Amino acid sequence: MRIHAHSMIYVFGLGMVMSGCQPSDSSQMQDASSLAYNCRAIPACDAKAPDPGAFRPFQNRKPSGNAWHRGHDQYFKQGDDQWIIGKFNYGNLLARKDLQGEEVDIYLLRGCGDTWEKLGTGVTTHGGGATIEGIPDDGGRVYFQIPVDKQLDVGRHRVHLVVAGDHTTTEMFIEVMPAGVPLFVSDVDGTLTTSELAELGSTITGATPDANDGAAEALKGLVSKGYRPVYLTARPELSVQRTRDFVEERAFPDGRIETSLASLLGLTGSKAAAYKSDALNRLVDKGFEIAYAFGNTDTDAQAYENAGIPTESRYFFKYNDKKFGGQRIESYRELNNFASLDGVCE
């Protein structure tokens, strides 16, 4: 297994930390900072939800049906503007109506501690606003920029969003990282689940799909060495929570969940490739390095090529990428050596 260039930087930084030497310049201090962040355990972030207080009346007529709210996980570098973004609508699986012009209270579990703080209140949009963090304003959105005096420090943070009128909720996670923290990306359906359509059947029954043998252990091996996961799926936006449940229940490491903005069936073909390419390139544009990638289809292969992920770092589960190149694996047990990677966390 090759050692990435950033791994050599971490080795240097680790040596300085262990020897008690002080870095000679700011870049070396940054390397040591990223090493310290990479190698600490991911917090559980499982505190009981906050008390939302009293109901406040809706300003307009509330849409009928069940709540289908969802939040959008984010990874930010230190110094980035920090946004909390949610979508709020009601109805059923086939038809939903956006909640517009209504207040949503925003609570923060800073650093995944045990004390919630109220950051403020957002108002759901009517549509037609700006696109922020790749998410266009199609109505029913909350875009809340965290004020400078309340900005999140390096670490993982949980956000709880509560509709003031009926206390229906959704959640999201934000992670703020120092420079130098590498990521890896993985598709979900057919790559981590046992088949491309496993989620479709499980949605009907309410069950959680099974995971491919050894997949969770392989990705945990990467996390143990300092890499942070992005679960990038062309599933529809409605599937955020089910995807998060899959990650948790099948013992995958916590990370950023990113779904497409499709309304019901998700994206396929060229649309899926374009969506994934755009999502990865936004991370690259922020300065993140995507060190490894996992997939199982030509759309994954196209997206990883478009994002400039090194060919030798692309792994495809039971799929041959004849167009761009990459490594086919028959079992995630072939990747047990991820747990013995040198140079990141020892």
What confidence tier does 40 reach under pLDDT thresholds 50, 70, 90? confident
Contacts of 273 by beta carbon, 8 Å cutoff, 6+ apart? 298, 299, 302, 303, 306
When pLDDT is cut at 50, 70 and 90, the band that residue 277 belongs to is very high
Domain boundaries, the chain: 66-177, 183-340
Question: Residues 300-336: pLDDT tens digits?
Answer: 999 999 999 999 999 999 999 999 999 999 999 999 8
C-alpha 277/C-alpha 307 separation (Å) is 6
pLDDT mean across residues, the chain: 89
Fold of 183-340: Rossmann fold (3.40.50)
Separation of first and last alpha carbons in the chain: 16
**Per-residue pLDDT tens over the stretch 168-209:** 999 999 999 988 889 999 999 999 999 998 998 787 788 999
The number of helices, as runs of H, and strands, as runs of E, in the chain is 7, 17
Residue 154 buriedness (CB in 10 A; 0-12 / 13-18 / 19+): middle
Residue for token pair 């990865």: 280
Element at 142 (helix H, strand E): strand 141-145
Order of strands, sheet of 74-77, starting from the edge strand that comes earlier in the sequence: 74-77, 169-177, 155-163, 103-109, 117-123
- Burial readout 194-221 (b: 16 or more C-beta within 10 A, e: otherwise): eeeebbeebeeeeebbebbebbbbbbbb
Identify the CATH number of the domain defined by range 66-177: 2.60.40.10
Residue 21 reports pLDDT greater than 90: no
Q: How confident is the model at residue 343 (pLDDT cuts 50, 70, 90)?
A: low
Reply yes or no on whether the pLDDT at 265 is more than 50. Answer: yes
Residue position matching structure tokens 């000679």: 24
The pair phi, psi for residue 19, each rounded to 5°, is: -85, -10
Q: What percent of the chain has pLDDT over 90?
A: 78
Residue 90 binned pLDDT confidence (cut-offs 50, 70, 90): very high
